[in-house]
Structure 1
Amino acid sequence: MNNSYTLEEAIKKLEHYCAYQERCHKEVTQKLIQMQMIPEVRDHIVVHLLEHNFLNEERYAKAFVSGKFNIKKWGKQRLKLELKRKDISSYNISAALKIIDESDYYKTFNQLAEKKLESIKESDKFKKKKKLIDYLLYRGWETHLVYDKVNELIP
């Protein structure tokens, strides 16, 4: 971007950016860097966004977990990893993971495993197991759940 922004213009732009979709501090800071704002102004804008509740890491973490679990069917390990990559605190990560209902979690895991198994076109039992295990681990499901379920589905 070759545009230069006044403080007021930058604040309005970032307010809109945060109002459109939940954002974390890291995303906001990257946006400000992309807008070529100096560090003092970046700090001022982040404080303004926090004070006016445009930026809230706990709310962001909960929205992230809810969306990725319900839509992408990610397990807790993947959710934790992705939130850590966004520099979300351990406290907020724990709070966000608590919104997942345990029975929904296991139900989703079982449905995902069974659906994926149906789609694997592999005759070799061991290759089939490996494909299912790799798929579930990549999605961030806990190792003990994955191995127990795979052994149950493919004896």
Structure 2
Amino acid sequence: MNPQKTYSIDEAQEKLEFYCSYQERCHKEVVEKLKDMRMIPEAIDVIVVYLIQNNFLNEERFAKAFVRGKFRIKKWGKYKLTLELKKKNISKIIINLALLEIQEAEYLETFHALAEKKAETLKMSNLTVKKKKLADYLLYRGWESHLVYDKVNALIN
């Protein structure tokens, strides 16, 4: 983007329609994009309202897609998913709705497979260090601590 270029509301609106059509976006990302385009606050409000009314922008749809993608591809746990959505200013109600996209059975199956796969790669003889490395790995990925510690103790003894 040319930092000197200025956009009319119609031009900016058209750019943002494409931006939102390409991939689900949250309000925060759209507002930041408009600020980068050097739009004034009144124009930002007009464009965001237009995008919402024309279904280009939908926080619930964004949150559900985000949760499904990060869980299936990056194998993130619910804690990290919640944290990342909060960073994007998504409301607690929408976060809870989005987390319902993950079936409990699939969630636990993914967790166990991830933990077992990582445990196999840890080749140290000191069990305490091995347990810590596995726990740190799973906690970093946002899995709940009660699941992590139960699994670490079951796998490494």
Q: Name the TM-score, length of structure 2 as normaliser.
A: 0.98
Unaligned runs of 5+ in 1: none
What amino acid sits opposite 2:59 in the alignment? E
Q: How does 1:1-150 map to 2 (within 5 A)?
A: 1-150=3-152
Which structure 1 residue ranges, 4+ long, deviate > 2 Å from structure 2?
A: none
1:4, distance to aligned residue in structure 2 (A): 0.6
The alignment covers a number of residue pairs equal to 155
Q: Secondary structure at the match of 1:40?
A: helix
What amino acid sits opposite 2:151 in the alignment? K
1:121, distance to aligned residue in structure 2 (A): 2.2
What amino acid sits opposite 1:70 in the alignment? R
Q: Secondary structure at the match of 1:2?
A: coil
Unaligned runs of 5+ in 2: none
Q: Secondary structure at the match of 2:123?
A: coil
1:146, distance to aligned residue in structure 2 (A): 0.1
Q: Name the TM-score, length of structure 1 as normaliser.
A: 0.99
1: CA distance, partners of 2:123 / 2:5: 53
What amino acid sits opposite 1:42 in the alignment? I
1:150, distance to aligned residue in structure 2 (A): 0.2
C-alpha change, 1:113 and 1:40, in structure 2 (3 Å) is same
What amino acid sits opposite 1:74 in the alignment? W
1:18, distance to aligned residue in structure 2 (A): 0.2
2: CA distance, partners of 1:109 / 1:101: 12
Tell me the residue number matched to 2:153.
151
Q: Deviations over 1:28-79 (max 9, x none)?
A: 0000010000000000000000000000000000000000000000000000
1: CA distance, partners of 2:142 / 2:24: 22
2: CA distance, partners of 1:19 / 1:120: 43
